[in-house]
Structure 1
Amino acid sequence: MQLEFNKEKQQITIKDDVPTHSWLIMVLMVVNILNMSVQLFSMSYYKNEILFVFMILLAIISIAVMFFYLLKRSWKTTYQLSKIKGVETEKVFGRDRTFLKLVNGKKRSFSILKNENELNNLKNTLTSIGIKTI
Structure 2
Amino acid sequence: MEIKYNEIEKSLEIKDDLKNHYFLIKIIMILNLISATFQLSDINETEIGFIEITFLLVGISSLIILCIFVFKKSTSEKIPIEKIERLNEKTIFGKKRFSLKLSNGKNRDLTELKTQAEFAELKKLFSEIGITN
The list of structure 1 runs, each at least 4 consecutive aligned residues, that deviate by more than 4 angstroms after superposition, is none
Deviation string, structure 1 residues 44-77 (Cα, Å, up to 9, x no partner): 541x611101100000000000111112111111
Matched residue, 1:81:
81
1:8-27 mapped onto 2 (5 Å cutoff): 8-27=8-27
- In the alignment, structure 1 segments of 5+ residues that lack a partner are none
Unaligned runs of 5+ in 2: none
Give the TM-score normalised by structure 1.
Answer: 0.90
Q: Is the 1:45–1:52 contact (alpha carbons within 8 Å) kept by the matching residues of 2?
A: no
Residue of structure 2 in register with 1:63 after alignment: 63
- 1:115 counterpart letter in structure 2: T
In the alignment, the residues of structure 2 paired with residue 45 and residue 67 of structure 1 have an alpha-carbon distance, to the nearest angstrom, of 30
Q: Aligned pairs, how many? A: 132
Q: Distance in 2 between matches of 1:27 and 1:6?
A: 32
Whole-Å Cα distance in 2 between the matches of residues 67 and 31 of structure 1?
A: 14
Equivalents in 2 of 1:51, 1:112: separation in Å?
Answer: 38
Question: 2:108 is paired with a residue of what secondary structure?
Answer: strand
Give yes or no for contact 1:4–1:14 (8 Å, CA) kept in 2: yes
Q: Which amino acid aligns with 1:20?
A: N
State the match for 2:116 in structure 1. 116
Q: CA RMSD in A?
A: 1.5
Distance 2:118 2:3 in 1: 12
Which residue identity lines up with residue 29 of structure 2 in the other structure? M
